[in-house]
Amino acid sequence: MPTNADRRVALLTLGCARNEVDSEELAARLAAGGWSVTTDGTDADVVVVNTCGFVAKAKQDSIDTLLAAADTGAKVVATGCLAERYGEQLAGELPEADAVLGFDHYPDMAARLDAILAGETIASHAPRDRRTLLPLTPVARQAAAEVVVPGHGAGNLPAHLRGVMRQRLESGPVAPLKLASGCDRRCTFCAIPSFRGAFVSRTPDEVLAEAEWLASSGVRELVLVSENSTSYGKDLGDPRLLERLLPQLAAVRGIVRVRVSYLQPAETRPGLVEAIATTPGVAPYFDLSFQHSSEPVLRRMRRFGSTERFLELLESVRRLDPDAGARSNVIVGFPGETREDVDELARFLTEARLDAVGVFDYSDEDGTEAADLPDKVSESDIKKRYDWMSALAEELCAQRAADRIGSHVDVLVDDVLDDSVEGRAAHQAPEVDGSTTLVGGDGLDPFALRRGDLVRAKVVDSVGVDLVAVPIEMISPADS
């Protein structure tokens, strides 16, 4: 068995940016427990896979990663959403994993890995509905200190009296920052609340302290993540708290852009729209979870809205900033969806002028109400609708990008490579919304730029959702 100084653990993260934050909290806890933490699973004593349990493909990716980790000869631990959701069942079906640990194991993860490396057997996580762990009334939840909520720091001490429980696993100029965890909505297709729990906000002082810590490590853009950012503050007694927090985050020294993600259209208030669209340093970017636009489908999803209401919301954004970015995800093939419903969704996407659209084909999820709904759409029809809607979304988003040719965008430089300089405009979130390639012209030399520089650029071309732009002015250099 390796000595304490030699123990190496590889943290492999799958899924969303919320999982990235959770992994970096685990990295800090493991480092405090004497482990050397890496993201390279080829030469580790233990490989911890922070799994995703969102949809079938994500589950399979998690299982494949666990199996590949087992082939290295290291001890293998499954944690994260798939482990939390299935626990003992996953352990029974995946003997290659030496342990399946849930969120309640996070605070003493280092000790758990010590035991696993020593050959001890750790009882697999027993799943439970995490919504039942916290009070039904949101304002009573902050006092429930005994409930483990990943990504929420190290206890109830004020932020200025404790260190940030996080160790960065990536070194780029952008980082996710968790606003909250869990969700109180009851969408019929979604299992996330059952294993992520009820909605809990992080306090503003904790969020600000972590923002300052991230800025001190070279982060220039903060991406605020949660299951539902529009609910932020409701359990702290102030449902408008995000509107007040955004200017404070934008004022953190070194931060040049704050981006809000995961907005619920039904909860997106005019004041929040104004704060996101007009606050200096906040990206005018609206990640709106529409899912569909046909009222009958939305009602079966237990969601609210319609094509007209959603278009009105987007119009309210563009009245404040005509160039604001907007993206969404939609589901096709939901039980009971008709061809008329699909046509209505197509009408909405055509008129909405979104910058990016993720199209998902419906599949039943364990434990969800939708899994038991009648009037299932056949797999062949779901595939046809998915293919058609994906092609339509791709065409519409490419046209939206082309419409930006001739405009000016503020680009954060992500990478300066030997043959290209890549960054993102305000309407482009990391990994999901395309990027901007900076090229030479009548302006700055793109190859003289550095990661983290913020420059103003003129868009000269587009390729799909991606832009090509000439940098013309330095707004904020990386060392500012």
Q: For residue 155, is pLDDT > 60?
A: no
Nearest Cα neighbor of 467 from 475, 457, 453 is 457
Pairing of strands 221-225, 36-38: unpaired
Q: How far apart are CA 443 and CA 456, in angstroms?
A: 10
Helices (H), 159-282: 192-196, 204-216, 241-250, 270-278
| pLDDT value for 5 | 57
Q: Tens of pLDDT along 311-335?
A: 999 999 999 999 999 999 999 999 9
| pLDDT value for 235 | 93
- Max Cα-Cα span within the chain: 65
Beta-carbon count within 10 A of 418 CB:
5
Structure-model confidence comparison of residues 139 and 288, the more confident one? 288
Q: How far apart are CA 196 and CA 361, in angstroms?
A: 23
Please report, for residues 63, 281, 396, the alpha-carbon distance to residue 47 in angstroms, rounded to integers and kept in the order given: 13, 39, 42
Q: How far apart are CA 102 and CA 191, in angstroms?
A: 16
| pLDDT value for 56 | 74
Q: How far apart are CA 416 and CA 450, in angstroms?
A: 6
Helix (H) or strand (E) segment spanning residue 80: strand 75-80
Pairing of strands 436-438, 421-424: antiparallel
Q: Which residues are annotated as a binding site for [4Fe-4S] cluster?
A: 16, 52, 81, 183, 187, 190
| pLDDT value for 300 | 97
Q: For residue 305, is pLDDT > 60?
A: yes
Mean pLDDT of the chain: 93
| pLDDT value for 171 | 87
Confidence band of 432 (pLDDT split at 50, 70, 90): confident
| pLDDT value for 4 | 57
Q: How far apart are CA 213 and CA 153, in angstroms?
A: 13
| pLDDT value for 443 | 84
Q: What is the mean pLDDT of residues 40-46?
A: 90
Least confident of 123-127, 203-207, 384-388: 123-127
Whole-structure pTM value = 0.93
Q: Tens of pLDDT along 396-420?
A: 999 999 999 999 999 999 999 999 9
Pair of tokens at residue 99: 């342990």
Q: Tens of pLDDT along 268-287?
A: 999 999 999 999 999 999 99
Confidence band of 166 (pLDDT split at 50, 70, 90): very high
86-105 burial code (b ≥16 CB/10 A, e <16): bbeebbeebeebbbbbbbbb
Q: For residue 154, is pLDDT > 90?
A: no
Backbone φ/ψ region at 349: left (φ over 0), alpha (ψ -120 to 50), beta: alpha
Structure-model confidence comparison of residues 143 and 218, the more confident one? 218
Q: Tens of pLDDT along 3-42?
A: 555 799 999 999 888 999 999 999 999 999 999 999 988 8
Portion of the chain with pLDDT greater than 70, in percent: 96
Q: What is the mean pLDDT of residues 358-376?
A: 95
Structure-model confidence comparison of residues 450 and 164, the more confident one? 450
Q: For residue 141, is pLDDT > 90?
A: no
Q: Which residues are annotated as a binding site?
A: 16, 52, 81, 183, 187, 190
